Amino acid sequence: MNGIKDRGLVTSDIGLEKQRIREEVWRSLEKEGVSRFPRPVFGRIPNFQGAERAARRLATTEEFLRSQVVKVNPDAPQSPVRRLVLEAGKSLIMPTPRLREGFLLLDPKRIPRSLYRKASTIRGAFQLGVPLSLEDLPPVDLIVCGSVAVTVKGLRIGKGGGYSELEYAILREVGVVQEETPIATTVHDLQIVAEAPREEFDFTVDIIATPTQLLRAVGPRFRPEGVIWDRISEERLRKIPLLRELKKRTRVSGEGGRS
């Protein structure tokens, strides 16, 4: 175990500590005047000045250069990453907000180069992307996630919805993401914190790109092996058709040996 969880905090305490860190980071970004649209950043994966520079730093890494398929979250600060993925001729997998409509595939070969900027936005991705079924999901070479806070050990905190973790778990469950698949995040330097707690469904990141530096995580890697079904509410199942389909498929496979 790592960080605050080592000190014996129970799950409810961990949730409170995560929220305390989020609030601290959001306040810091606003106070220092480095946050940008959409604002206020409270309750969001915060967009920040220098997001383009952070994306360019990430694009210099071996993991990015050798990848063919990159999954990037749909939040505003990672829009420059999504655009660079397309400009580099790589396939982009973008989860739809709250996973309501699953994952989209954006193939740069089928999108005019003049529309790459548009395709890197949420609205443009819906217009230019193709919805993917569980069976259509391709193997992913690199994951880029948004974060509210991250430590140099690779521990990260999202905005609290758990969607990045769920997206990872789904991709891991269907076998298109492996234990060794690298995970990166782009953040402002002010989002790097000294310590963060971790729960059983949390993953750590391997690469942290900021406007001023590129860091390799120095802590142990943690990766959930799939969806932790007893942590999935009926409401979440109701709102995410792809998750319902996966649960049904998993149940059939477990009961009858069929996939």
Instruction: Give the start-to-end residue ranges of the domains of the chain.
Output: 3-216
Mean pLDDT score of the chain, rounded to an integer?
Answer: 93
The number of CA neighbours under 13 Å toward the Cβ of 14 is: 20
- CB-based contacts of 20: which residues, under 8 Å, 6+ apart? none
Rounded CA-CA distance 259/250 in Å is 7
Architecture of domain 3-216: 3-Layer(aba) Sandwich (3.40)
**Predicted structure pTM score:** 0.92
The pLDDT value recorded for residue 253 is 64
DSSP 228: -
Cα–Cα distances in angstroms (integers) from residue 66 to residues 17, 52, 137, 209, 254, in the given order: 37, 20, 19, 17, 36
Tell whether the model's pLDDT for residue 109 goes beyond 80. yes
Residue ranges with strand state E in 98-246: 103-106, 130-132, 142-145, 149-150, 156-157, 183-186, 207-209, 214-216
Residue given tokens 């900027």 in the structure block? 117
Which two three-digit tokens encode residue 163? Answer: 């969607």
Q: What is the pLDDT of residues 223-256, one digit of tens each?
A: 999 999 999 999 999 999 999 999 998 876 654 4
pLDDT of residue 3 exceeding 70, the answer is no
